[in-house]
Amino acid sequence: MKKDISIIGVPMDLGQTRRGVDMGPSAIRYAGVVERLEKLTQTIEDLGDIEIGSRERTASAESNLKNLKAVAEASENLAGKVAEVVQQGKFPLVLGGDHSIAIGTIAGLAKHYSNLGVIWYDAHGDLNTGETSPSGNIHGMPLAVSIGIGDSTLTGIGGKHTKIKPENIVIIGARSLDDGEKVLIKEKGIKVFTMHEIDRMGMTAVMEEAISYLKEQGTDGVHLSLDLDGLDPHDAPGVGTPVLGGISYRESHLAMEMLEEANILTSAEFVEVNPILDERNKTATVAVALMGSLFGEKLL
Given the residues 139, 151, 257, 297, select the one marked as catalytic: 139
Question: Is 272 labeled as catalytic in the residue annotation?
Answer: yes
Question: What is the number of other CB atoms lying within 10 angstroms of the CB of residue 212?
Answer: 11
CA within 13 Å, CB half, 192: 25
Closest to 122 (Cα-Cα) out of 252, 35, 285: 252
Given the residues 76, 272, 278, 297, select the one marked as catalytic: 272
Question: Is 99 labeled as catalytic in the residue annotation?
Answer: yes
C-alpha distances in angstroms, 91 versus 24, 152, 199, 249? 20, 29, 32, 24
Q: Name the CA dihedral angle for 72, 77, 83, 86, rounded to a multiple of 10 degrees.
A: -120
Question: Is 227 labeled as catalytic in the residue annotation?
Answer: yes
String of b and e for 142-157 (b: at least 16 CB within 10 Å)? bbbbbbbbbbebbbeb
Given the residues 76, 98, 126, 297, select the one marked as catalytic: 126
Given the residues 99, 232, 253, 297, select the one marked as catalytic: 99
Max Cα-Cα span within the chain: 57
Question: Is 124 labeled as catalytic in the residue annotation?
Answer: yes
Given the residues 22, 122, 151, 278, select the one marked as catalytic: 122
Given the residues 124, 223, 278, 297, select the one marked as catalytic: 124
Given the residues 13, 76, 151, 227, select the one marked as catalytic: 227
Instruction: Calculate Rg over the CA atoms of the chain.
Output: 17
Question: Is 126 labeled as catalytic in the residue annotation?
Answer: yes
Question: Is 229 labeled as catalytic in the residue annotation?
Answer: yes
Chain-centroid distance, C-alpha 246: 16
- Tabulate helix, strand, coil % of the chain (nearest 5): 40, 20, 40
**CA 194, CA 170: separation in Å to the nearest integer?**
10
Given the residues 229, 257, 269, 278, select the one marked as catalytic: 229
Catalogue the active-site residues: 99, 122, 124, 126, 139, 227, 229, 272
